A and B are shown apart, each in its own frame.
Chain A
């Protein structure tokens, strides 16, 4: 388990334990955290699981695979700390990760 904190757009903070091996997207879906739609189910094909990663965590994340940046072009208000949460696999290294969920996904 790793602790992942999701800050939702209504200024609420949700800290939950997410099983290692699941994605940050799945952690949000399983815990009913609002704001992540994940329409395509984790296939990097829709950009509706877009999150903003807290700056100090950016370098600790796995690098973007081909295609993630292309999908982020489609995301709602992408920034330099944008990631697709379906591409972030939870591990010990990500224990304590904090992400902000955008006001909407599209």
Chain B
């Protein structure tokens, strides 16, 4: 059981800065995120795209922003729990008990949901029968590539994941790469490599095709793919892999009794608390009149939510407003030596 003052759900810029604000006022926190790294949408959707509207930072990429925020919270030694999705929530007197998908448990005084538009989940095939094979012969990510040795694998997608795995697996498996158009969004060098492998007969490339159906008894045996013009090809396949990026799903948060409106959580603008006492929501996931989905708004919301958490974490203490320029306590927490 991890016992701390506040659990932050979501390691995007808003969650990270909220951790900073909690640290400044002397509260501890831990952060859970479903992705394998901090940064949220900034890292997952646009790591290389410049952002121009962070106050006092004329230009920075999503990755730079994330790295700077991580540097800024370094003094607080915040513990991260990555690859974990928050699943269960229980009230226990004045504390919250939270459990994640991986069985990690927390005992906290308050919760800050900084979950963006939800947790990132792989996008799946539209074909219904795919569900039946998911996890046994159809995958959206690869954990153990050794199972593919000497097998026939059909990979769908045109981005870097699809191309990289097609190249890698073609070394020891028979690979079909199927993509809906001639163009690819992956790196140019990988596209060329795939075309070369196709010319050398080491990989079969099918463009302008999409999945039509999959069939098999317990495991996938064949895949049918359909050309833009309607022609259908049947290909033998032991495994099917789909790489269509990630989509955001609100997930178990929906069942926590929060007022939810169009995939966002309603909050008050005084401290960004939800209708449930002790649960706060900040960043893209919260809604209130005039809400702007900007990173800078998330920072403001996090600063106020952190102060809102204080009365739950330290009910017998009074929080005094201080500036980091002059507060001894804040500077000590930041580890500043004079």
Seen from chain A, the residues whose Cβ lies within 8 Å of a Cβ on chain B are: 37, 39-41, 43, 45-48, 69-70, 73-74, 76-78, 80, 105-106
Q: Are B45 and A46 within 8 A (Cβ)?
A: yes
Distance A2 CA – B167 CA, assembled complex (angstroms): 48
B302 adjacent to chain A (CB < 8 Å): no
Which residue in A39, A73, A78 is a CB contact (below 8 Å) of B248?
Answer: A39
We find that the number of chain B residues with CB closer than 8 angstroms to chain A is: 25
* Sample (28) of A-B pairs whose CB atoms are under 8 Å apart: A39-B117, A39-B247, A40-B41, A40-B117, A41-B284, A41-B293, A43-B45, A43-B46, A45-B45, A46-B248, A47-B245, A69-B181, A69-B183, A70-B158, A70-B183, A70-B185, A73-B179, A73-B181, A73-B244, A74-B123, A74-B245, A76-B123, A76-B126, A77-B210, A78-B180, A80-B228, A106-B123, A106-B124
Q: Are B185 and A73 within 8 A (Cβ)?
A: yes
- Residues of B40-71 contacting chain A, CB below 8 A: 41, 45-46
Closest to B249 in A: A106
Query: Which residues from chain B contact A74 at a C-beta distance below 8 Å?
Result: 123, 159, 244-245
Closest to B245 in A: A74
Query: Which residues from chain B contact A41 at a C-beta distance below 8 Å?
Result: 284, 293
Q: Are B159 and A73 within 8 A (Cβ)?
A: yes
B263 adjacent to chain A (CB < 8 Å): yes
Closest to A32 in B: B262
Q: Are B126 and A77 within 8 A (Cβ)?
A: yes
Residue picked from B45, B118, B210, B247, most chain A C-beta under 10 Å:
B247
Distance A105 CA – B249 CA, assembled complex (angstroms): 11
Residue picked from A48, A69, A73, A78, most chain B C-beta under 10 Å:
A73
Query: Which residues from chain B contact A48 at a C-beta distance below 8 Å?
Result: 247
Closest to B211 in A: A77
Known: A45-B46, A46-B248. A73 touches B158 (CB 8 A): yes
B157 adjacent to chain A (CB < 8 Å): yes
**Known pairs A46-B247, A69-B183, A106-B247. 19 more at Cβ < 8 A?**
A37-B263, A39-B117, A39-B248, A40-B45, A41-B293, A43-B46, A45-B46, A46-B45, A46-B248, A47-B245, A69-B185, A70-B158, A70-B159, A70-B183, A73-B159, A73-B181, A74-B244, A77-B126, A105-B247
Distance A80 CA – B230 CA, assembled complex (angstroms): 12
Distance A41 CA – B157 CA, assembled complex (angstroms): 24
CB-CB contacts of B201-226 with A at 8 A, as 1s and 0s? 00000000010000000000000000
Q: Are B123 and A73 within 8 A (Cβ)?
A: no
Q: Are B180 and A73 within 8 A (Cβ)?
A: yes
Distance A73 CA – B41 CA, assembled complex (angstroms): 19
Task: Please give the distance in Å from B284's CB to the nearest CB on chain A.
Answer: 8
Closest to A106 in B: B247
Distance A73 CA – B208 CA, assembled complex (angstroms): 11
CB-CB contacts of B117-131 with A at 8 A, as 1s and 0s? 110000110100000
Query: Which residues from chain B contact A78 at a C-beta distance below 8 Å?
Result: 180, 210
Query: Which residues from chain A contact B158 at a C-beta distance below 8 Å?
Result: 70, 73
